[in-house]
Each structure stands twice: as C-alpha cells, then as structure tokens.
Amino acid sequence: MQNSEQINQLKNLVQDCLDEATKQGATAAEAGLSVGNGLSVSARLGDVENIEYDCDQGLGITVYFDKRKGSASSTDLSPESIKKTVSAACSIARFSNEDPFSGLPDKNMLATEFPDLDLYHPWDIDAEQAIKLAIECETAARSYHSEISNSEGASVNSHQGIKIFGNTLGFLQGYQSTRHSLSCSVIGQRGEAMQRDYWYSVARSAADLETAATVGEKAAMRTVKRLGGRCLSTRVAPVLYSAEMAGSLLGALMGAISGSSLYRKSSFLLDSLDKQILPDFIRIHEQPLLKKALGSAAFDGEGVATKTRDIVSNGILRSYLLSTYSARKLGMQTTGNASGVHNLTIEPGADDFEAMLKRLGTGLLVTELMGQGVNRVTGDYSRGAAGFWVENGVIQYPVEEITIAGNLKDMFKNIVAIGNDVDYRGNIRTGSILIEQMSIAGE
C-alpha cells in the first residue's frame, strides 16, 4: 500500500471516530491515531543477543459534553471497536465534573499550513544487516584499547510510523516520520577499578548516522578516559556542563515555565514573564519547522500551529509553554506546546569545546549526572555527578562519587558562556554550558 493511500485510510478512521462521537451526543471531540513498525537488534561480545520486530497501533479519543470531558483509547481499529471506544469516552464524560477550562482550542489557533519537513526516510535494512552493523560497532569499541574488558553490547534501531490528528472543528491532518539509531556501551578496567560509558547516534535518515566504527570508538574512548577516577574534597568551583549534559539544565528550565507547573503554583519561576532570568547574552528559541530535525512538527498535540519564536531573548523570559487548557487556567493563549517543545535551541556562543575548557580555567567538567535531585518548586538542585577536574584549561584527571548543588535561579543567572559544540541528537539543542560557581560535595 502506498503511504499516501495509507494516510488517507487512517484519516478516514479518525473522521469515523469523530463522527461517531457526534452521533453519540458529544458537543466536541478530538482523536489521535498512530501506527508504526520497527526493527531492533542488539549484539554482545560478538554474538546476537536480541532481535525484535514491532508493529503497533493505537487510537485515542477525547469527547466533550459542554465542559465535561472523557477519554478512552484502543489498539483495535475495527469499526466495532471504534464505536465501543467512543462509547466508553462518552460514558466517562457524562459522569465527569464540569471544568470551565476544558475544551478544544480556538479554531483560529489551528494549523493551516503543512510544509514538508522531510521527516520520512525509511531504512532498507534487514535483521542480518543490522546484526552485522551492531557487531561492527561493538568490535570497534572492544578493540580500541587493551583496558576495554567487557561490553554491555551495541544496538541498531529503526522505526517508521504515521500520526494522524483530527477534531470536530474540521482539523484533520497527518504525517509520516522515521527515527534510526546506533548505540554502544562498554566496560573498562584498570587494576580493580572499573568504569562504563557509552555513545549513540540518532537521526531521521540512516545516511545521517555516525558510522558504526565511530560510535564504537567514541564509546570506548569515553570509557578509557574515565578510568582512574578520584573523589574531590568538598569545595566551591566553576562547573562546565558538557553539551550532552547541558540539555538537562534547559529541561529543568522548560519544566519550570510549563503551564501545568505554573497554574499549580509549583514552579520557582512563578510570575517571571518579561523578567530577567538569564544573563543578557542568552537567547533560547523554538524551531519547529526545521527539516529532518528530531523535534519538528507543523502542529502540536491539539492541532495548534507551531511557530518559530523566542522563549528567552536578552536573558528575559518572553513566553511560557502552554497548552490550551493551561493557557485558559492562566488567562492566556496557547503557545502550541501541548506536546512539549519543538527543537528548543539555545543560541551558541563563539567558543568551541577546547575554548570553553580554557574559559573554565580551574574547575569541574561534568560528563555524567545521576539522580533526579531537582526541586521545581524551590529551584534547589543537587545531583550526583562524574566528569573531570580541569586546571588552567587542561583536563587533569577523572572524578567520580561527587555531588554538585546550587539553586537553579542562581545557576541560570551565573551562566558565563555557551559553547558552539552543539549536541543535535535530541529535541533540545545546546552546546556546553559554563556556570560561574557551584558547590561540589566530595570527601
């Protein structure tokens, strides 16, 4: 079946679902449908460990009886099942309490333009080829250095799918996308001490993945560098988050300015709109229409149009992240973030990683974080960390078993520089981030 033909068939299913909801008395309804399939292969110590083919589908329907809401879902897309699923949602809605803020988005907020974002690049790879690639990746890692003593394996994943969304305001759209990845994790040993580290590559198109050998070698190199780790004495020092770790800082910021945190008054950034929350050289923006990017979408989970916009400019918070519901709770308008952010980007500075180390001078480079020690209400931050101690801009030795702590409000205001070593492997795009000083708890 041609993809365009399949998309049209799935659109018809969603429309049938919406029509059934209206027929059963709903004053409004919205439905989302996704189908997908993929291949996942892992190899360890040169042998196949796992081969999985997955094929999944799911339909979710939300109905409204004025301001009462009900939702139901099903993996069975037969007409009879769709009718039962709609009936279940309607039954829930009839017994729900009224919520004055519930309902579909305003019609004028819905997307009307749907550019080709180049998200669909199927990978013509079978299990045998994927196994060969995984073994090649792991072999490159295991043969990189004599101190690589064991392996947690390498894996190859490929997935393709179609998503459709529609509502009773006349919105009915869908798109297809792919996502492929290659990863490796190995263990190193020096004397009695052992360490593990990993690397991965992910992209919409397999042609954009790093080679198997590169992924394996990077995983091994990172592992060997961590051997001989020491614990630091407790101190206060500058901290440089590597690009891979810096995304978690932006994730904490996004959580604090999300509508659900704000209307529940569970954010340390309450009432911060149009106020300075970061140094004035920082710009953070959304780029939802980037071609081939992992976070691209022309509309959010409610059909609301996404758009390129600044969230922070000159260090000032310009916008919250709102769905229709959270916007109404706050007396505002949706920002098209019902399904999160779309290619959130912090504008990189001029310095590459080596220059960022020089700016750090003497301090801590963080390359791994552990635990979930972030209090979104107070901004208090405390996480287990590992990385490297740096002196005069040069890495001296690996460090482990330490905790870094601060308050996110202060940490954000004390950002000194953003590197241009941007990590593009996710929905948050950032280079390394240098913070003027943090508490480091060790021995």
Helix (H) or strand (E) holding 93: helix 79-95
**Domains of the chain from N-terminus onward:** 3-226 (3.30.2290.10), 235-248+348-441 (no CATH)
- Count Cα atoms within 13 angstroms, Cβ side, for 233: 0
CB 137 within 8 A of CB 216: yes
Q: Which residue has the tokens 């709770």?
A: 329
pLDDT by residue (tens digit) across 337-388? Answer: 999 999 999 999 999 999 999 999 999 999 999 988 899 999 999 999 999 9
> What tens-digit pLDDT sequence spans the chain (443 residues)?
457 889 999 999 999 999 999 999 999 999 999 999 999 999 999 999 999 999 999 999 999 999 999 999 999 999 999 999 999 999 999 999 999 999 999 999 999 999 999 999 999 999 999 999 999 999 999 999 999 999 999 999 999 999 999 999 999 999 999 999 999 999 999 999 999 999 999 999 999 999 999 999 999 999 999 999 999 999 999 999 999 999 999 999 999 999 999 999 999 999 999 999 999 999 999 999 999 999 999 999 999 999 999 999 999 999 999 999 999 999 999 999 999 999 999 999 999 999 999 999 999 999 999 988 899 999 999 999 999 999 999 999 999 999 999 999 999 999 999 999 999 999 999 999 999 999 999 98
Q: What is the rounded end-to-end Cα distance, in angstroms, of the chain?
A: 63
Q: Under DSSP, is residue 189 helix (H, G, I), strand (E, B) or coil?
A: strand
- Is the torsion defined by CA of 74, 80, 85, 88 positive or negative? negative
Q: What local confidence, expressed as pLDDT, does residue 2 receive?
A: 58
Lookup: tokens for 122: 């199927």
CA angle 49, 54, 59 (to 5 degrees): 150
Q: What local confidence, expressed as pLDDT, does residue 422 receive? A: 97
Taking residue 111's Cβ as centre, other Cβ atoms within 10 Å add up to: 19
Could you give the 3-state DSSP secondary structure of residue 348?
coil
Count H helices, E strands: the chain? 9, 17
Q: And the tokens for 361?
A: 């001078």
pLDDT digits (tens, 9 = 90+) for 341-351: 999 999 999 99
* pTM as predicted: 0.94
Note whether 431 and 357 are within 8 A (CB). no
Closest CA to 422 of 317, 293, 307, 335: 293
Q: Which residue from 365, 374, 361 is spatially nearest to 405, judged by alpha carbons? A: 374
How far is the C-alpha of 369 from the C-alpha of 362, rounded, in Å?
Answer: 20
pLDDT of residue 443: 83
State how far the Cα of 71 lies from the Cα of 324, in Å rounded to an integer. Answer: 17
Q: What residue type is assigned to position 168 of the chain? A: T
DSSP state of 77: -
